[in-house]
């Protein structure tokens, strides 16, 4: 038999959620003005950074000056290139996955 949550349990859950949301707003703000000088990355830079993202993820463990996503980018075009380069839409694996599924 299912047991419904009591009013006290619901209120406690809501209070904990509210405290969690409140505390998450206390994070330090990173100053990135030094990163925004120089070359601005566009679509092609995003595409390249998406392709090398797995390597960057590993390099980030040992070096502080390596990041996956460039801070100095031009916005939507950089993000679009990054998504395509990282395979975020499944362009490369989708065809093979559907063929192996059909064989079953």
pLDDT tens-digit map of 69-82: 887 888 899 889 98
What pTM did the predictor assign? Answer: 0.53
Q: Could you give the CA distance from residue 87 to residue 95 in angstroms, rounded to a whole number? A: 13
Q: CB of 50 within 8 A of CB of 83? A: yes
User: Residue 65 gets which letter from DSSP?
Assistant: T
Closest CA to 47 of 14, 70, 71, 16: 70
Q: What is the CA radius of gyration of the chain?
A: 22
Structural domain boundaries in the chain? 7-103
With a cut of 80, say whether residue 101 has pLDDT above it.
no
């Amino acid at each position: 038999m299912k047991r419904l949550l009591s009013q006290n349990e619901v209120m406690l859950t809501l209070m904990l959620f509210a405290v969690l949301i409140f505390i998450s707003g206390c994070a330090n703000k990173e100053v990135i003005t030094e990163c925004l000088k120089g070359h601005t990355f566009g679509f092609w830079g995003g595409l390249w950074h998406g392709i090398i993202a797995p390597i960057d993820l590993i390099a980030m463990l040992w070096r502080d000056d390596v990041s996956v996503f460039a801070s100095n980018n031009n916005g939507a075009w950089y993000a679009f290139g990054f998504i395509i380069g990282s395979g975020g839409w499944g362009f490369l694996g989708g065809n093979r996955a559907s063929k192996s599924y059909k064989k079953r």
